[in-house]
Structure 1
Amino acid sequence: MIRKLNLENILFLDIETVPETQYFSDLDETKQALWDHKSKYQRQADETAEDFYERAGIWAEFGKIVCISVGYFKITEDSRTFRTTSFFGDETTILEDFKTLLNTHFNHPKHLLCGHNGKEFDFPYIARRMIINDIEIPEKLNLFGKKPWEVPHLDTLELWKFGDYKTYTSLKLLTNVLGIPSPKDDIDGSEVCRVFYEENEIDRIVTYCEKDTIAVAQIFLRLRGDAILTNDEIIHI
């Protein structure tokens, strides 16, 4: 039962991704052909592989991570704070810094990672990009040989499903129905590619990513029956 979990043992996170290059034409011919094959079942009949390329960031084989935001609770007898920080810049540096955080501060069996749709997207995406960038996967992301109950991951989407696997509930919708401030008050996921490549505004992406991380923590609190965080309890590091 999630109420029995110690909030201080959970690392909440969210990632933002973009296509590995700005333009489809920047890919070599082999990668263009591979993208054409990979995306053909997702595209509309009148869409070309080039038309669809702005969505390539969804796939770890054709995208890259531009930001990982994390948040964690600090609780004392008379106070509760939620501290957020972000890793951004060169993807290899992002991944190495995130790995260091896991290995130094969240490496105990009691520690858990939590994201919204994290089990289907964030966690495997990070692991795949680490392998692609020749970075050894930290224990918290290495699921080889682990039984389901040994996987140290929580997922607010999975928790909200209550065993129902027929639907997907977005972070924006879930925050709305649970009375949580929306993290989508500036940009949304569909705009990250444009903001990154055309506007070069990584700060906006970092802010958006941190808001999503806070929203995941807020949803988790609501699922526990706890009061959501106030602005005074959120600290940006």
Structure 2
Amino acid sequence: MLSRINLEHILFLDIETVPEQESFDALNDEKKELWDQKSKYQRKEDFTAEEFYDRAGIWAEFGKIVCISVGYFRINGENKTFRTTSFYGEEDKLLKEFKNLLNGHFSSTKHLLCGHNAKEFDFPYIARRMIIHGIELPFKLNLFGKKPWEIPHLDTMELWKFGDYKNFTSLKLLANILGIPSPKQDIDGSMVREVYYEEKDLDRIVTYCELDVVTTAQVFLRLRGDELLDESDIKSI
């Protein structure tokens, strides 16, 4: 039962990713060929490999993380606050900072990680990029040898599926149907590459990422049957 989980034991997170290079032309010949092979099924005949490169950020082999935002609850009696913070900038640095957070404050067996579609995207993406950078995986992301019930991951999209594996529901849609106020966002996921490489406005991406973490936490509260957070309960640190 979700209601039995201590909210203070959950670290909510979201990541934003972009293509590893600004343009297809920046890839060497071998990487161009590998990208052509990797993307062929998804793009079919509608796009060339070069035209499709804008979407390379969704693959850990061809993308990189530019922001990891996290959020966690602090409860004092009847008072509940939700604090958010972000790691952003150079990927190697932000991955190490995120790992330090996990190892320092969320390393116990009682602690859980939670995101939306995170089992399919965020968690494996972070793990793959850590390995690419030669960073030893923290316990919370190293799934080798673990039984399914030992994996310390929650996923709000999976919780909403109720066993229906055909169902994909976006965070924005889920928040809407659950009556969660939609945060004012001036970008969406499809714009992150443009904002990062062309506008060079990382602050906008960080704000967007943190708002998604807040929305994920609100969805989790609704799934538990709890009251939603008020805006005054949310603190960015």
TM-score of the pair, normalised by structure 2: 0.99
Shift of 1:79: 1.0
Q: What whole-Å deviation, never above 9, does each CA across 1:120-178 have from its counterpart, x for those lacking one?
A: 00000000000000100000000000000000000000000011111100011001101
Structure 1 residue 235 corresponds to structure 2 residue 235: yes
- Runs of 4+ with >3 A deviation: none
Q: What whole-Å deviation, never above 9, does each CA across 1:46-77 have from its counterpart, x for those lacking one?
A: 31000000000000000000000000000011
Structure 1 residue 31 corresponds to structure 2 residue 31: yes
For 1:99, the equivalent position in structure 2 comes to 99
CA distance in 2, matches of 1:31, 1:235: 42
Q: 1:122 to 1:183 in 2, by over 3 A?
A: farther
Q: What whole-Å deviation, never above 9, does each CA across 1:188-213 have from its counterpart, x for those lacking one?
A: 10000000000000000000000000
SS in 1 for 2:175: helix
Question: Unaligned stretches of 5+ in structure 1?
Answer: none
Letter in 2 for 1:104: G
Counterpart contact for 1:13–1:113, Cα < 8 Å: yes
Shift of 1:78: 3.2
Residues 12-161 of structure 1 mapped to structure 2, 5 A cutoff: 12-161=12-161
CA distance in 2, matches of 1:100, 1:70: 13
Aligned residues: 237
SS in 2 for 1:56: helix
For 2:162, the equivalent position in structure 1 comes to 162
After superposition, the CA RMSD in angstroms is 0.8
TM-score of the pair, normalised by structure 1: 0.99
Question: Unaligned stretches of 5+ in structure 2?
Answer: none
Between the aligned residues of both structures, percent identity stands at 70
For 1:173, the equivalent position in structure 2 comes to 173
